Structure 1
Amino acid sequence: MNNIPASLKILENIEKSPYLVGAQIFTRHLGKSIADLEFEPILLKAAKLNLPLWLHPVFDNRKPDNNLVFSWEYELSQAMLQLVQSDIFKKAPDLKILVHHAGAMVPFFSGRIDHILDQEHAEMFKNFYVDTVILGNTPALQLALDYFGINHVLFGTDAPFAVMPAGADKIVTDAIENLDIFDLYDKKIFETNYQHMIK
């Protein structure tokens, strides 16, 4: 990310690859928010090439109390807010950003979002895609599903992390199967939403 032309070239190479489907970005690069204008050409290029971007958190080195329980969720939520306020979804309505950990704090604080932001920016949060990586917790997963909509929730487990030795596949799968939704919606989460997102 310290070489924008090279980053754009990488995206072009991904688009031509028979094996790669997108790229990972982080909430911060070089000490700056992913929403910084410096990185906008990368986001616009990904949208133009129809390449999804996977957004993962990093620790904010200015904070001495970083932890895996809460800090990363705050980082994701703040990055989502910054992206929305940068108007990136106005400039690139088709931009596909998949946010880790079921959209972090956003579904839980949707009321605050709706009351504090103007309606246009509040609605932009629905442009994000999210995965199911919250280590189970069916009610929380239902909240994310209700907020982002059935077409924007994709199966993810964080494997091989979180639950050793191979990940939380069973925990996450059980949480999805315990949702009060039709089997067709299960299939969307497990399969067809991903297929749609990658073209």
Structure 2
Amino acid sequence: MRYIDAFNHFFPERFFAGVVETPAGQKDMGKRVRGIPALFDLDERLRIVDSFPDYSQILSLSMPAIDRLWGPEDSPEWARIGNDELAELVARHPQQFPGYAASLPMNAPEAALREAERVLRNGANAIQLHTNVDGAPLDEERFWPIFEVIAKSGRPILLHPIRTREMADYRNETKSKYEINSVIGWPFETGAALARLVFSGIIDTYPDLKVVSHHLGGIIPYFEGRVGHSWDQLGSRTSDEDYASILKRLKKRPLDYFKEFYGDTALAGARGPTICGISFFTPDRVLFASDCPFDPEKGTGYIKATIAVLESLDLSEEDRNKICHGNARRLFGLD
């Protein structure tokens, strides 16, 4: 079986050197990434990819997000550096890396718009966005032109969750504890970002927009019943805003929008949630992904575990092909 890994992460050489010099790159996530050679060592990454038969990766930059690393005066240049380095890797190693997802300096929206136009014109296969921009929601008006450009390109958004320690678990605290912000905060953050795309009207405005939600949609598939029936009654719990009028404005039932997003299989090899996510999105909207190299083995573990889960499922050959490589080929323009 051919596997195209839709969501995994790598730091090219020059970009990585810049990351480790930033304050954010020297603490928290920066502390973690320096301990994973396959995240920045190309030879090690190639060794891992080549250890699996008929396996390749669509590369994207790793965390922290560009807008967490540099201010708006520097982020456009570093986004260009990272994107150009990824494009060069794809050109040099097309068998291992058939495509890449470009990243944008979202804290400088006008520059982000120009960078999106540039990379999509030059062959980027996707755009990686995070679920917030240094704490700001993606549906703010300043970001809408970026969605328009991506929608017109036909290429997908790879939506990566980001929820920092500053986003506290409780109102009377200033920081999240015990890494709750990422371990269980990221799945919530994914659901929240998808909801903002739906209820803000972005999806109705740009109906051709394709969004691949990391970790198989976060909490959304698991709470399908609650998402469906509770948002069918939008406004029934709120008296100070007219949410009921949003239901009249939407062109579809809220749940139907969520089912039209895509999800990837990066679930650390968990079988039950994989079944749940495929059931929710259907095999037409699920892409194989591993989240390499953030497994305990530092590169191979999640790839092996995710392949094993998919091989254990009772899927038709047609559906298995869609999930493992067909949907990726179509969305990323690899055909």
Query: TM-score, normalised to structure 2's length?
Result: 0.57
Give the secondary-structure state (helix, strand or coil) at the position aligned to 1:130.
strand
Is residue 42 of structure 1 aligned with residue 111 of structure 2?
no
Q: Which residue of 2 aligns with 1:117?
A: 231
Residues in 2 aligned to 1:35 and 1:191: alpha-carbon distance in whole angstroms:
31
Counterparts in 2 of 1:158-197, with a 5 A limit?
Answer: 158-167=291-300, 168-197=302-331
Residues in 2 aligned to 1:163 and 1:173: alpha-carbon distance in whole angstroms:
16
Is residue 156 of structure 1 aligned with residue 270 of structure 2?
no
**Cα displacement string for residues 90-130 of structure 1 (whole angstroms, at most 9, x for unaligned residues):** 11111011111011100010001110113622210012111
**Cα displacement string for residues 43-95 of structure 1 (whole angstroms, at most 9, x for unaligned residues):** 12100111211111111423122433211111111111111111211111110
Residues in 1 aligned to 2:289 and 2:315: alpha-carbon distance in whole angstroms:
18
Structure 1 residue 134, shift from structure 2 partner: 0.6
Q: Which residue of 2 aligns with 1:71?
A: 185
Query: TM-score, normalised to structure 1's length?
Result: 0.93
Q: Which residue of 1 aligns with 2:119?
A: 14
Is residue 4 of structure 1 aligned with residue 137 of structure 2?
no
Which residue identity is paired with 1:117?
A: W
Residues in 2 aligned to 1:22 and 1:104: alpha-carbon distance in whole angstroms:
20
Which residue identity is paired with 2:107?
A: N
Which residue identity is paired with 2:113?
A: L
Q: Which residue of 2 aligns with 1:100?
A: 214
Residues in 1 aligned to 2:296 and 2:262: alpha-carbon distance in whole angstroms:
24
Residues in 2 aligned to 1:4 and 1:156: alpha-carbon distance in whole angstroms:
29
Residues in 2 aligned to 1:156 and 1:62: alpha-carbon distance in whole angstroms:
27
Divergent runs of 4+, >4 A: none
Is residue 56 of structure 1 aligned with residue 56 of structure 2?
no
Native 8 Å contact 1:14 1:22 kept in 2: no
Residues in 2 aligned to 1:150 and 1:189: alpha-carbon distance in whole angstroms:
6
Which residue identity is paired with 1:46?
A: I
Give the secondary-structure state (helix, strand or coil) at the position aligned to 2:195.
helix
Give the secondary-structure state (helix, strand or coil) at the position aligned to 2:253.
helix
Residues in 1 aligned to 2:285 and 2:307: alpha-carbon distance in whole angstroms:
17
Which residue identity is paired with 2:122?
A: S
Residues in 1 aligned to 2:109 and 2:260: alpha-carbon distance in whole angstroms:
24
Unaligned runs of 5+ in 2: 1-105, 169-174, 233-251
Which residue identity is paired with 2:290?
A: T
Instruction: Among all aligned residue pairs of Structure 1 and Structure 2, give the percentage whose two residues are the same amino acid.
Output: 30
Which residue identity is paired with 2:135?
A: G
Count of matched residue pairs:
198
